[in-house]
Amino acid sequence: MTTETPLWFTSSYSNNGGQCVEIAANLVAAHGIVPVRDSKRPNGPVVHVRADAFSCFVNGLKGAS
């Protein structure tokens, strides 16, 4: 199910220390984007990242650990 409203969440790997980003993966299928925002500023700016670029970013992080 997709919606036009972002459903924000943080990673389960986050220690909830407030230094997190949130993503709205529910918009990937319909729009091909992953909205990203600072969890401390929910009304602040949102960066819209292409889904393929976000996937490369996440894979790069996995390889760095």
Please indicate, yes or no, if residue 13 is contained in any of the structural domains. yes
Residue 35 structural domain: 1-59
Instruction: Using the CB atoms, write b or e for 9-40: b if 16+ within 10 Å.
Output: eeeeeeeeeeebebbbebbbeeeebbbbbebe
Please indicate, yes or no, if residue 17 is contained in any of the structural domains. yes
Please indicate, yes or no, if residue 65 is contained in any of the structural domains. no
* % of residues, the chain, pLDDT over 70: 89
Please indicate, yes or no, if residue 64 is contained in any of the structural domains. no
Q: Which band of pLDDT confidence, cut at 50, 70 and 90, is reported for residue 63?
A: confident
* Number of domains observed in the structure of the chain: 1
Stated pTM of the model:
0.80
